[in-house]
Amino acid sequence: MREINEKVFAISGFRLEPVAGLVQPRVFLENLADGVFLCTQYIRHHSTPLYTPEPDVVHEIVGHGVTLASPRLAELNRLFGKAVQRTKSADALERLSRIYWFTIEFGVLREDGAVKAYGTGLLSSAGELGKMHQADLRPLDLDAAGRQDYDPTHFQPVLFCAESFAGMYQTLREYLVNW
Ligand SMILES: [Fe+2]
């Protein structure tokens, strides 16, 4: 983690900070505003290498560590944190958490005629990455994503698909700035 941290920090200014166990969604998201990503440290059980319902160190490094080394994705993470800091009601926080889930965690987009993952949950699950094309791929609509329930314990049946990386970045950025 230290090695990855140095590289990510040099590119986007983000730091991966180890925490023991899961933290509250608000605490996790608000830390993003300051360029801090709170990282779990345990690793998935060796009997289920392709998937884990809870974030483990593979998810944090292969998923979040790699994407936080993208300046644009790092900026979106920061904007999520700032939007959460401005969010008072539990209902609005819930909607924002769902939007984080369907973009940063499980976002997909089209590129060169193919559907590709930019979401950290997909990037860190070889099992789900191979199956994501079978999901109900809906056009990226952030209001709809905010209303969409999800279950973290199995592969996602619904995914929101952007038309391009640039389109996803612009849409999400504007939405978060105006939140
Ligand atoms: Fe995650």
DSSP codes of every residue in 103-169? IIIT-EEEETTEEEE--HHHHT-HHHHHHGGGSEEEE--HHHHHH----TTS--SEEEEES-HHHHH
CA of 116 to the centre of ligand 1 (A): 17
Residue type (1 letter), 126 = A
pLDDT of residue 123: 96
Q: How confident is the model at residue 45 (pLDDT cuts 50, 70, 90)?
A: confident
CA of 174 to the centre of ligand 1 (A): 22
CA of 66 to the centre of ligand 1 (A): 12
Q: What is the tens place of the pLDDT at every residue in 120-169?
A: 999 999 999 999 999 999 999 999 999 999 999 899 999 999 999 999 99
Q: Is 64 a catalytic residue?
A: yes
Return the percentage of the chain with pLDDT > 90, whole number.
85
CA of 17 to the centre of ligand 1 (A): 14
pLDDT of residue 53: 78
Q: Is 154 a catalytic residue?
A: no
Q: Is 89 a catalytic residue?
A: no
Q: Is 105 a catalytic residue?
A: yes
CA of 121 to the centre of ligand 1 (A): 6
